[in-house]
Amino acid sequence: MPKPTITSANPLTHRLLVAAAVGIVGLLIVVPLASVFAEAFAEGPAAWWRALAHDPDTRHAIWLSLTVAPIAVAINTVFGIAAAWLVSRFRFPGRSLLITLCDVPFSVSPVVAGLALVLIFGRQGLLGPTLATLGWKVIFSWPGLVLATTFVTLPLVVRELIPVMEAIGPEEELAAVSLGASGWQVFTRVTLPNIRWALLHGIVLANARAMGEFGAVYVVSGHIAGATDTMPLRVEKLFQEYRTPASMAVASVLAGLALVTLVAKFLIERRLEAEARELEAARSLPDTIVGSGTPPDAGPRTSTQGSTA
């Protein structure tokens, strides 16, 4: 048995396995992605630009997506930080139930979520008459879009923060409190610097999902062109109107955005891994050095699980 390790397979098996993996990812992911751009630019960049910029309904859809997604992401950033702080720094009855509830939006069909919002805020809904007398419109209007988008992206920021905050532990924050820092000071000077990359990771993922959400938004929007159509809804409407090139043009903007998201995600994950290694190294130092707590530059640890979100 002169092989380097006994468990390594022979090169031919390796090559076949790699070929199969590349084939699966290529056929399912790379070919479709490439064809979005090929189809979008089939008639040249000028036609692509015309389809995007010269159609007022498409322009409105782009603007609406760029408004709704950041609002939903901002709400979920606040929620994510609060929930992660609560879950990782305190023990209380109902804690694990709360963690489960944070994950519920992942298991609920977006269409069902949209329907639930219609049942609450729609004209025949629970709050419908009250809202009508106040003159507020939620369904078939942008607040409904924000609610639906917030629902589907709810777990993304929390899920990134909880494992990181659990891994760092509360020692630095306790030290800050014992030195007389206020709650806000602890958060801005200790917690936030420690979780910044994980937070950014969650925000990037939530934003991608928010920009691309279709099912929940479709149900609550009423798809009124030039009023409640977001970019993904515009893609569908143009496709239904047999304007596939224009539909592809909008789709290519969304696909481009997805690629930017992935590059950002990749760079952030490299940072997170580096900080996790630093944390590990700091932990393995003798007690005499780390005795008073981890060094200030020790950052969070990442989890590969988190990226499955």
Partner 1 sequence: MPAHNPIFRSPRRRSVLPGFGISAAITSLMITALVIVPLAVLALRAASLGPTEFLAAAWTPRARAAYAVSLGASLTAAIISSVSGLLVAWVLVRIDFPGRRLLDALVDVPLALPTAVAGLVYSTLYVERGWLGRYLVPLGIHGAYSWLGIVLVLVFVSLPFAIRVVQPVLESLDRDSEEAARMLGASRVQTFLQVIFPAIFPAVLTGFALALARALGEYGSVVFISGNMPFKTEIAPVLIVSRLEEFAYAEATAIAVVLLGMSVSLLVIVNWLQQRVARNSQ
Cβ atoms of 196 and 81 within 8 Å: the answer is: no
> Does the footprint of partner 1 cover residue 300 (CB under 8 A)?
no
Q: Please, which of residues 161-220 interact with partner 1 by CB under 8 A? A: 169-171, 173-174, 177-178, 182-183, 186-187, 205, 208, 211-215, 218-219
* CB 130 to partner 1: min, Å: 14
> Does the footprint of partner 1 cover residue 49 (CB under 8 A)?
no
- Among left, alpha and beta (phi > 0; psi -120 to 50; other), residue 4 is alpha
* Separation CA 108–CA 112 (nearest Å): 7
- Interface residue with partner 1, options 2, 4, 6, 291 (CB under 8 A): 6
Sign of CA dihedral 8, 11, 14, 16: negative
Nearer to partner 1 (CB atom), residue 173 or residue 275? 173
Give the closest residue to 275 by CA, choosing from 194, 155, 161. Answer: 194
- Interface residue with partner 1, options 69, 164, 251, 268 (CB under 8 A): 251
- Interface residue with partner 1, options 53, 66, 111, 224 (CB under 8 A): 111
* CB 88 to partner 1: min, Å: 10
> Does the footprint of partner 1 cover residue 119 (CB under 8 A)?
yes
Nearer to partner 1 (CB atom), residue 10 or residue 288? 10
Nearer to partner 1 (CB atom), residue 254 or residue 276? 254
Nearer to partner 1 (CB atom), residue 32 or residue 56? 32
Q: Using CB under 8 A, which of the segments 52-60, 232-240, 276-284, 288-296 binds partner 1?
A: 232-240
- Interface residue with partner 1, options 47, 115, 200, 290 (CB under 8 A): 115
* CB 295 to partner 1: min, Å: 19
- Interface residue with partner 1, options 51, 68, 110, 198 (CB under 8 A): 110
* CB 86 to partner 1: min, Å: 4
Q: Please, which of residues 253-282 interact with partner 1 by CB under 8 A? A: 254-255, 258-259, 261-262, 265-266
Nearer to partner 1 (CB atom), residue 79 or residue 227? 79
> Does the footprint of partner 1 cover residue 129 (CB under 8 A)?
no
> Does the footprint of partner 1 cover residue 64 (CB under 8 A)?
no
> Does the footprint of partner 1 cover residue 120 (CB under 8 A)?
yes
Cα–Cα distance list, 274 to 65, 90, 280 (Å): 34, 28, 10
- Interface residue with partner 1, options 163, 232, 299, 300 (CB under 8 A): 232
Which residue shows structure tokens 């009423």?
222
> Does the footprint of partner 1 cover residue 28 (CB under 8 A)?
yes
